[in-house]
Amino acid sequence: MPTSIKFLIFATGWMVFRAVGSGLFLSLGILESPRAAPPDWTIAFLGDFAIGTTALFLAYMIWKKPSAFLWGILLAWNAVGIFDLIGALSHSFSAPFSPFPEIGINEISIRTILSLNTFVQSVALLVMFRPQVKAYFRV
């Protein structure tokens, strides 16, 4: 298996952490915790949750059942994921969120996490257009 496919599987699976983090913050909002994000963050968290909950399934499909259809799904999935991350990153400046500053999860760490995930997902999107990746998916 080419390294670019391994990276694509890793980058796709990595996005499961978006579901974990957003699930935590959505739960805090439902429980009306003082650590909950402002309501403005709900849409960004719902987008993260949707992307994250599908990540492991898509990573498995890349590994076991590559197809041109899956390549198209991944293309759209990555584009939507990047759009959501860029929106959340820009939103972090207008509505800062500092849920657990005592353990280092403040506005800066939120922006760092969003930037890292944007970078990983952007590289994954670019990797999808490499010839060996397109051949793997039979595109």
The residue segments making up the domain with residue 43 are 3-136
Give yes or no for residue 58 having a pLDDT over 90: yes
Query: Which pTM was predicted?
Result: 0.88
Quote the CA–CA distance of 130 and 71 in Å, as a whole number: 12
Q: What is the mean pLDDT of residues 92-121?
A: 84
pLDDT in tens, 11-47: 999 999 999 988 988 888 888 888 887 888 888 888 8
Domain count, the chain: 1
